């Protein structure tokens, strides 16, 4: 049985439609009018225990509204939802014991308290005994290196430190499902890697993860399944690798050379399947290539044969590019080999 199951999950917000000023308010009292906003429109989703699912879509697609219904904060307008056998909004407290939530842009730590006090408050709120708490903290410390953070108030933490502390706060009660919303936003690469490795570890340990992010790296590192939401509806639910192979194959390599090249023609001639163009300065070149047709090593070898390469950077395609292609109808849900 899936750990998380939603059928026809729908949320319609109703906003009072009134003219400004007192007269508008009075008129609204007499004749009420509302504008309806369908935020989530019949989502069917089944997630098995231990799965890691990327839940993506453009701004306003309905991701947060879905997560709020899954965590019991919002009551669905229609449809059904069960998380670990419970209807979240009917069992908010019990549901809260089973889930963890991390918002990259907000913190659930008490701003003016040392991290250790925030964690202790959460321990008490969840009724965790001292022995179990010590074990969990030890396990979290081993991967998140909490030691230096514990005596520090949340307001004094760097963004990366705060994220490590927030992950600990979300996991201190060992939830079976964790919702992560942009968990690596604003973090530098080293910290990003660490957060991703940690999330991979909890997935390997059996935790179910639902990840909302615009960072393709997060998704690739953590999830095998991609669910794309648009206008409140799921437009794709399937294997991440299939989508990437089909629609996110282009890589862009930025090369910095020791000297301006006599011409980009030599490199282009060695790479007939790639597109070579001028970079931002006269010592830079940009090579765009399909990673299934040409490897990054081939591109570097071709460039090095023609000029002295002093620096290299590769841009990965953004998940938005993939999402945009889905909207353009280039990838259809249920298409052969991808769903």
Ligand X SMILES: Nc1ncnc2c1ncn2[C@@H]1O[C@H](COP(=O)(O)OP(=O)(O)OP(=O)(O)O)[C@@H](O)[C@H]1O
Report how far residue 276's alpha carbon sits from residue 54's, in angstroms, rounded to the nearest whole number.
Answer: 33
Report how far residue 169's alpha carbon sits from residue 174's, in angstroms, rounded to the nearest whole number.
Answer: 10
- Measured from the CB atom, is 51 or 181 closer to ligand X? 181
- Measured from the CB atom, is 228 or 287 closer to ligand X? 228
Q: How far is the CB of 59 from ligand X (least distance, A)?
A: 3
Q: How far is the CB of 281 from ligand X (least distance, A)?
A: 35
Supply the Cα-derived Rg of the chain in whole angstroms: 24
- Measured from the CB atom, is 59 or 281 closer to ligand X? 59
Report how far residue 191's alpha carbon sits from residue 147's, in angstroms, rounded to the nearest whole number.
Answer: 16
Q: How far is the CB of 153 from ligand X (least distance, A)?
A: 28
Report how far residue 80's alpha carbon sits from residue 104's, in angstroms, rounded to the nearest whole number.
Answer: 28
Report how far residue 240's alpha carbon sits from residue 254's, in angstroms, rounded to the nearest whole number.
Answer: 26
- Measured from the CB atom, is 60 or 85 closer to ligand X? 60
Q: How far is the CB of 60 from ligand X (least distance, A)?
A: 4
Residues 39-98 interacting with ligand X (rule: CB under 6 A) = 39, 57, 59-65
- Measured from the CB atom, is 18 or 126 closer to ligand X? 18
What does the longest C-alpha to C-alpha distance in the chain come to?
A: 80
For the chain, how far is it from start to end, CA to CA, in angstroms? 21
Which residue, among 302, 312, 304, has the nearest Cα to 274 in the 3D structure? 302
Kind and range of the H or E run holding 192: helix 189-204
Site track for ligand X across 21-40, x = CB under 6 A? ----------------x-x-
- Measured from the CB atom, is 81 or 115 closer to ligand X? 81
Total chain residues near ligand X (CB under 6 A)? 12
Candidates 2, 8, 13, 333: give the one binding ligand X (CB under 6 A).
13
> Residue 254 — φ and ψ, nearest 5°?
-105, 120
- Measured from the CB atom, is 185 or 246 closer to ligand X? 185
Q: How far is the CB of 250 from ligand X (least distance, A)?
A: 24
Kindly report each contact of residues 304-308 with a partner whose C-beta sits within 8 Å and lies 24 or more positions away, as own/partner: 305/270, 306/261, 306/266, 306/267, 306/270, 307/257, 307/258, 307/259, 307/261, 307/267, 308/257, 308/258, 308/259
Which residue, among 110, 102, 240, has the nearest Cα to 182 in the 3D structure? 102
Report how far residue 259's alpha carbon sits from residue 283's, in angstroms, rounded to the nearest whole number.
Answer: 6
CB 115, CB 154: distance < 8 Å: yes
- Measured from the CB atom, is 63 or 82 closer to ligand X? 63
Helix (H, G, I), strand (E, B) or coil at 254: strand
- Measured from the CB atom, is 43 or 285 closer to ligand X? 43
Q: How far is the CB of 91 from ligand X (least distance, A)?
A: 22
Q: How far is the CB of 62 from ligand X (least distance, A)?
A: 4
Q: How far is the CB of 311 from ligand X (least distance, A)?
A: 34
Q: How far is the CB of 76 from ligand X (least distance, A)?
A: 13
Neighbour count for residue 330 (Cβ, 10 Å): 12
Site track for ligand X across 288-317, x = CB under 6 A? ------------------------------
Q: Give me the residues that bind ligand X (CB under 6 A), please.
A: 13, 15, 37, 39, 57, 59-65
């Amino acid at each position: 049985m899936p750990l998380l199951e939603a059928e026809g999950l729908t949320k319609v917000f109703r906003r009072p439609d009134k003219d400004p000023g007192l007269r508008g308010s009075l008129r609204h009292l007499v004749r009420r009018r509302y504008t309806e906003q369908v935020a989530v429109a019949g989502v069917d989703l089944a997630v098995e225990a231990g799965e890691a699912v990327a839940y993506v879509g453009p701004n306003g697609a309905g991701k947060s509204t879905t997560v709020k219904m899954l965590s019991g904060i919002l009551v669905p307008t229609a449809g059904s939802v069960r998380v670990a056998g419970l209807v979240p909004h009917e069992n908010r407290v019990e549901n809260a014991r089973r889930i963890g939530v991390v918002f990259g842009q907000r913190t659930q730590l008490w701003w003016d308290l040392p991290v250790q006090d925030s964690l202790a408050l959460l321990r008490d709120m969840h009724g965790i005994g001292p022995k179990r708490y010590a074990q969990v903290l030890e396990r979290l410390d081993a991967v998140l290196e909490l030691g230096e953070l514990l005596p520090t108030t949340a307001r004094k933490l760097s963004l990366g430190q705060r994220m490590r502390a927030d992950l600990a706060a979300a996991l201190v009660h060992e939830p079976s499902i964790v919702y992560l919303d942009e968990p690596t936003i604003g973090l530098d690469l080293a910290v990003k890697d660490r957060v991703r490795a940690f999330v991979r570890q909890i997935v390997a340990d059996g935790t179910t993860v639902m990840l909302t992010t615009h960072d393709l790296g997060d998704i690739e590192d953590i999830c095998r399944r991609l669910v794309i939401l648009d206008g409140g509806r799921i437009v794709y639910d399937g294997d991440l690798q299939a989508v990437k192979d089909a629609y996110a194959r282009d890589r862009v390599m930025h090369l910095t050379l020791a000297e301006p090249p006599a011409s980009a023609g030599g490199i282009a001639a060695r790479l007939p399947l790639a597109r070579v163009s001028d970079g931002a300065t006269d010592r830079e070149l940009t090579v765009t290539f399909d990673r299934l047709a040409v490897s990054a090593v081939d591109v570097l070898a071709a460039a090095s044969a023609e000029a002295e390469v002093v620096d290299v950077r590769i841009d990965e395609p953004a998940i938005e590019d993939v999402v945009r292609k889905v909207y353009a109808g280039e990838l259809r849900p249920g298409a052969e080999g991808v769903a």
